[in-house]
Amino acid sequence: MAGEKKDLDWSNLDFSYHKTDYSFVANWKDGAWDEGALTSDHNISLSECAGIFHYCQEVFEGLKAYTTEDGSIVCFRPDLNAERMADSATRLEMPAFPKERFIDAVKQVVAANAAWVPPFGSGATLYVRPFMIGSGEVIGVAPAPEYHFRILVTPVGPYFKGGLKPITLCIAKYDRAAPHGTGNIKAGLNYAMSLKPTMDAHRGGFAENLYLDSQSRTYVEETGGANVLFVKADGTLVVPQSHTDSILPSITRRSLVQVAEDLGMTIEQRPVTWDEVKSGAFVECGLCGTAAVISPVGTIVEDENTKVEFPQGLTEIGPAMKKLRETLTGIQDGALEDKHGWVFKIQ
């Protein structure tokens, strides 16, 4: 079975939704989750009064399943996705889907769709999207009385088709996250309000927005969907932190910090001001997240008169970002030793 792959042009897939064979679903009612099951029904039928439609109770996760060189189907640190989704749910008064069950559900749905997991070397992956919505009816402002948990999977193409070309960011004119708000959880509501800034950035010719902290507009936070990393001239990795807990705890970032430590790099995890970036303190910059692992950033533009270039990563990915990226992808692909037990075998 595992060998019989779907007939897709794996290397030319883009990042769009392709229906697969199965999704996983579970429902929460009267204080408990049901057994959950795989389904081949890719539609959800809901009351017009379901909580999701009115008060936006939705949280999600994103991870990828892929084939390693020895033909195993694996995913990367699903336990951290389970924990983060539980934290996100708790913040929106939604019931957490238990961690062990989350991991088991990922395993079930990926195994059932093994034919959709792209082959090793194609650069493509099976994107795994767990999410939860308030499905019960609610008209007064309150948490929904019922919830629907679902995992859909869809094959997606390599993030970088034309090689790792450094991107240009702009400093966002809008804010992403309120101090002590919901910036540290993975919820659709954080994306709804980021769509306009993102499209404005694209219309301006930029790849993404870099958001500053909304309290003081002094500190660098992250982009709409990726954490940011810097490297100093002496090779120190600098990882921005937030005074106001408004940066999403990226699993890729946390893994890269461990990789940097294993490589013997010096690491500073601390708030970083935009002034420090403008002062030329950093020679490389990158964005990190599941999809691309690291996207090199060559330039950040604030306005017509203010732009920062990262001299060691301006035309191609710089040496430190390259080393970090190659090491983490090497661990993911099974080419390097997985000494922290991050790669989770599905079959």
Query: Please, which residue, 229 or 288, has the CB nearer to ligand PLP?
Result: 288
Nearest by Cα to 208 from 285, 131, 156: 285
Q: How far is the CB of 42 from ligand PLP (least distance, A)?
A: 23
Options 64, 107, 186, 322, the catalytic residue? 186
**Alpha-carbon torsion (170, 173, 174, 177), positive or negative:** positive
Closest approach of ligand PLP to the CB of residue 238, in Å: 17
For the chain, what is the radius of gyration of the CA atoms?
20
Footprint of ligand PLP (CB under 6 A): 62, 186, 222, 225-227, 248, 250-253, 288-290
- Could you say which DSSP state residue 152 is in? E
Considering the complex, what minimum distance in angstroms separates the CB of residue 210 from ligand PLP? Answer: 12
DSSP letter (8 states) at residue 273 = B
Of 96 and 256, which has the nearer Cβ to ligand PLP? 256
Using the CB atoms, write b or e for 218-254: b if 16+ within 10 Å. Answer: ebbbbbbbbbbbbbeeebbbbbbebebebbbebbbbe
Min separation Cβ 70 and ligand PLP, Å? 25
Q: Which is nearer to ligand PLP, 129 or 278 (CB)?
A: 129
- Residue 263 DSSP code: T
Concerning whether 107 is annotated as a catalytic residue, the answer is: no
The span from the CA of 301 to the CA of 303, in Å, is 6
Residue 159 beta carbon to ligand PLP: minimum distance, rounded to whole angstroms = 12
Largest Cα span, the chain:
59
- Among residues 252 and 299, whose Cβ is nearest to ligand PLP? 252
- The residue among 150 and 253 lying less far from ligand PLP, judged by its C-beta, is 253
Q: How far is the C-alpha of 23 from the C-alpha of 197, rounded, in Å?
A: 32
Q: Cβ distance 135 to 152 under 8 Å?
A: no
Which residue is listed with tokens 């692992």? 293
CA dihedral 293, 297, 298, 302 (to 10 degrees): 180
Quote the least distance from Cβ 49 to ligand PLP, whole Å.
28
Pairwise CA distance, residues 109 & 314, whole Å: 41
3-state secondary structure of 62: coil
Please identify, using beta-carbon distances, which residue of 164 and 251 lies nearer to ligand PLP: 251
CA angle 303, 222, 298 (to 5 degrees): 55
CB of 290 to ligand PLP, least distance (A): 3
Question: 26 vs 80, which CB is nearer to ligand PLP?
Answer: 80
Token pair listed for 314: 């301006």
**Residues carrying an active site annotation:** 186
